[in-house]
Structure 1
Amino acid sequence: MDDEDGYFPEPIAATYDESSSDMFAPDAVGPVVDFLAEQAGGGRALELGVGTGRIALPLAARGVPVHGIDLSRAMVARLRAKPGGDAIGVTIGDFATTKVDGDFSVAYLVFNTIMNLTTQDAQVACFRNVAGHLAPGGCFVVEVMVPELRKLPPGQHAVPFHVGAERLGFDTYDVATQAMSSHHVRVADGQATYFEIPFRYVWPAELDLMARLAGLRLRERWEGWAREPFTHDSGRHVSVWEKPAH
């Protein structure tokens, strides 16, 4: 791991957009931007883990002022190189604790990024940090998976998420600590490369308690950005917690 860039140093940043190309498709990005622009309501947006600008750039293009926080200079360099990238303010730092000036109508963490904080303490700190940045009536939006523990039979701790000729991916779980890791194997010209990214999985009810500790309250929870109902079979959720207006 590169100490300056966290778990997203140059080798990962260089191929990040291509490896996550499905998430950059218009049908994946559009509903996210629509939802967040509605939540912003003409105010400012704060993206935690802004990365290469998958959401920040199209959201800014919709007229929403966006500021980002990210630990990885390599990822932010990719953002800066894109059209409109220079217009996105970015603060380098850990989004659980890093402060920026001003207040925001909406803060958001998408694509499982809350799990990049690998301890419960850090996740709790993130909610408190966000609450301190929100204007009264502002909201915190999180998109994250529901832990896939139902896919684990007794004695097994790995769940594959991609199996192909050029790429293999699987998650490993420690149910005692809620630690998990995503393992990525890529094959090119007969040579394999491997990298691992650690996470901490977190339950919806646990996030609700973190929000309450930070003075936020759950306003809505959906399965996805198109506001599909969240049910016991949902594999992910989009949750919105708000800061009381008074």
Structure 2
Amino acid sequence: MTSSELWTRATADRYDAEETEMSSAAVLGPTLTFLAELAEDGRALEFAIGTGRVGVPLRERGVPVTGIELSEHMAAVLRRKVDADALPVTIGDMATTVVPGEFSLVYLVYNTITNLLTQDEQVECFRNAARHLAPGGRFVIELGVPPLRFLPPGQVAVPFDVSERHLGFDTFDLVEQILVSHHFTSDGLTSDSSTNGSCTSASATNDSAGGRYRRDSSRHRYAWPAELDLMARIAGLELERRVADWDGTPFVQDSSKHISVWRKPA
């Protein structure tokens, strides 16, 4: 078992409702096109497949998809959408769990590699991807660039969403390379912005002058693109491409996230 925090049943049951923007055609369209092109005529393996936000529609595009998911509750939500014969899912962690066969594509989206809270575990995630890839196959990660440049001296928090229905900010431990994502969400309403794909470690409901709100928080280990490249080299993978989004926008100094593609030598 890795250090990843587990999704609860309550969090899993409300996940899709709270991620409607991330499940929209505008967001998913470029994501699915990007991944389908890399998969070519082969099979795809999604690490931390969750409720199938990406895996289910990618399969509908004709790509055979298999998933690995740590949370049985998240996998249960996925199973309501598609049966096990059509999209098999193995319960386990993305750093050590092995499934049968070879894949032309392994992918890990929505900042989820940060759920592994140590560098060693993140390295093992790369090794596990390489273990599953056929020669010439690709490993894809979607990850935000740590927003440390927005931290004035002495400040430890950076807001990423301030709206009527949701307040989100990250706090940083610069020594341990850990960030904690904090979410305050109005009861009965959904958040449409999130720095990280999970918020599972703490949850509480409180009353305020404006009504009820829910508080959630989760821990993540952030990593820089160059650090991921070194992890890939340790796993025997080579950087093939890095862009700023699923549309292929060039990755530049001011990019807030990156889509990185590493290739297993043929």
TM-score normalised by the shorter chain: which range applies?
over 0.9
> Counterpart of 1:62?
61
* C-alpha distance in 1 between matches for 2:89 and 2:222: 26
User: Structure 1 7/183 Cα, relative in aligned 2: closer, same or farther at 3 Å?
Assistant: farther
Cα offset, 1:192, TM superposition: 2.6
Match of 2:204 in 1: none
Alpha-carbon distance in 2 for matches of 1:187, 1:202:
30
**Identity, % of aligned positions:** 54
Partner SS, residue 196 of structure 1 = strand
Q: Secondary structure at the match of 1:172?
A: strand
Partner residue in 1 for 2:160: 161
**8 A Cα contact 2:238 2:262, kept in partner:** yes
Post-superposition shift, 1:187? 2.6
Deviations 1:71-127 (A, max 9, x none): 011111111112x35421100001111010101000000110111111101100000
In the other structure, the counterpart of 2:179 is 180
1:1-246 to 2 correspondences below 5 Å = 6-82=5-81, 84-86=82-84, 87-188=86-187, 190-245=211-266
Q: Is the 8 A contact 2:49 2:68 kept in 1?
A: yes
- Describe the superposition over 1:214-244 as per-residue Cα deviations: whole angstroms up to 9, x where unpaired: 0000001000111110000100000000000
Q: Which residue identity lines up with residue 216 of structure 2 in the other structure?
A: F
Cα separation, 2, equivalents of 1:79 and 1:60 = 13
Instruction: Report the Cα distance in structure 2 between the residues aligned to 1:80 and 1:16, rounded to whole angstroms.
Output: 14
Flag the structure with higher helix content.
1
In the TM superposition, residue 213 of structure 1 has moved relative to its aligned partner by 0.2
Q: 3-state DSSP class of the match of 1:23? A: coil
Cα deviation for residue 181 of structure 1 reads 1.0
CA distance in 2, matches of 1:114, 1:92: 17
1:132-168 deviation line (CA, Å, top 9, x unaligned): 1000000100010000001111111111112233322
Aligned-partner Cα distance in 2 for 1:105–1:178: 32
Amino acid at match of 2:127: R
Q: More displaced, 60-69 or 6-15?
A: 6-15
- Does the aligned pair in 2 maintain the 1:7–1:197 contact within 8 Å? no
Give the 4+ runs in structure 1 shifted more than 6 A.
Answer: none
The residue type equivalent to 1:166 in the other structure is: R
SS in 2 for 1:12: helix
Tell me how far apart the structure 2 counterparts of residues 228 and 186 of structure 1 sit (CA, whole Å).
31
TM-score of the pair, normalised by structure 2:
0.88
Amino acid at match of 2:234: L
Give the residue type in structure 1 aligned to 2:91. I
Per-residue deviation at 1:184? 1.3
Query: How many Å separate the matches in 2 of 1:226 and 1:68?
Result: 24
**Larger RCO: 1 or 2 (CA < 8 Å, sep 6+):** 2
The question of whether the paired residues in 2 share the 8 Å contact of 1:6 and 1:71 is answered with no
- Asked if structure 2 preserves the Cα contact closer than 8 Å seen for 1:127 and 1:214, the reply is yes
TM-score by length of 1: 0.94
Supply the RMSD in Å over aligned alpha carbons: 1.4
Segments of 5+ residues of structure 1 without an aligned counterpart are none
SS at match of 1:147: coil
User: Letter of the aligned partner of 1:235 in structure 2?
Assistant: S
Tell me how far apart the structure 1 counterparts of residues 186 and 63 of structure 2 sit (CA, whole Å).
40
Structure 2, gaps ≥5 residues long: 189-210
Contact 2:5 2:115 in 1 (8 A): no
Distance 1:17 1:161 in 2: 20
**Secondary structure in 2 matching 1:21:** coil
